[in-house]
Amino acid sequence: MKQQYKVLLVDDEPDILELLQYNLEKEGYLVRTALNGRKGVEEARAFQPDVVLLDIMMPEQDGVETCRQMRDMSELQNSYIIFLTARAEEYSEIAAFDVGADDYIIKPIKPRALMSRLTALFRRETKKKKNSNKINVGELVIDRTSYTVNIGEQQVTLPRKEFELLFFLAQNPNKVFSRDDLLHNIWGSDVYVLARTVDVHIRKVREKIGEGYITTIKGVGYKFELN
């Protein structure tokens, strides 16, 4: 039986919610909606969606703060958060990725293109699960089957993209990857994000697991250090 994925739509424009809900349900997704950020957080906690599609400019609470709160929720640790927004400024995109967004799409929304994007996202996810394994480096244990990271007895919580970035680098120890390499392998070729997004995620991973694992090769990129 085909898995039925859950999608939460958070936008203050009822017409956009109605359009996206119609197209998503037609493709077999389970859908819930919210008209503002606060309600979106409540719905996310109850619904535990696989994907959140989130606007930035909303009443009561904007999308960036909403994303930050969702990323602090254990229920959404493995959920994708994708911004759908009219805000095309670079600083807005950086702010979105800084709080844990997985993708950033500029309105106007093309429903068919969005459906294709979600299909590709879940196809990659299924492929990753089939190739699940565990990496042990000293006290550091990275387990893709459970999406957990442990340092000794302490479990560290990483949002999905931070986890995938760490796992990819650790799976290829002592090999240097440019930002473009990492964007292609972690975010995919069908997603446009800024190169700075990699730097933001690397910084966050280092804050959580320590500075000794991922090395910056100036002017080139990053590598996972294995002595």
How high is the pLDDT of residue 150?
Answer: 93
**Whether the predicted pLDDT of 126 surpasses 70:** no
How high is the pLDDT of residue 21?
Answer: 95
How high is the pLDDT of residue 123?
Answer: 79
pLDDT interval class at 159 (50, 70, 90): confident
How high is the pLDDT of residue 127?
Answer: 62
pLDDT interval class at 1 (50, 70, 90): very low
Do the two domains 6-128 and 132-224 of this chain adopt the same fold? no
Q: Which two tokens stand for residue 146?
A: 């459970």
Q: Look up the CATH number of domain 6-128.
A: 3.40.50.2300
Residue in this structure with the two tokens 């994000």, named with its chain if needed: 193
Would the pTM count as exceeding 0.85? no
- 214 CB contacts (<8 Å, ≥6 apart)? 166, 169, 202, 205, 206, 222, 223, 224, 225
Architecture (CATH level 2) of domain 132-224: Orthogonal Bundle (1.10)
Position 204, amino acid: K
Per-residue pLDDT tens digits for 7-23: 999 999 999 999 999 99
Percent of the chain topping pLDDT 90: 47
Environment class of 131 (CB within 10 Å of its CB; exposed 0-12, middle 13-18, buried 19+): exposed
Per-residue pLDDT tens digits for 180-208: 889 888 887 666 667 788 899 999 999 99
User: Omega of the bond prior to 108 within 30 degrees of 0, cis?
Assistant: yes
Number of helices (H), then strands (E), belonging to the chain: the values are 8, 11
**Whether the predicted pLDDT of 118 surpasses 60:** yes
pLDDT interval class at 227 (50, 70, 90): low
Average pLDDT of the chain, as a whole number = 88
Sketch the domain layout of the chain as residue ranges.
Answer: 6-128, 132-224
Residue 106 · residue 88 · CB < 8 Å: yes
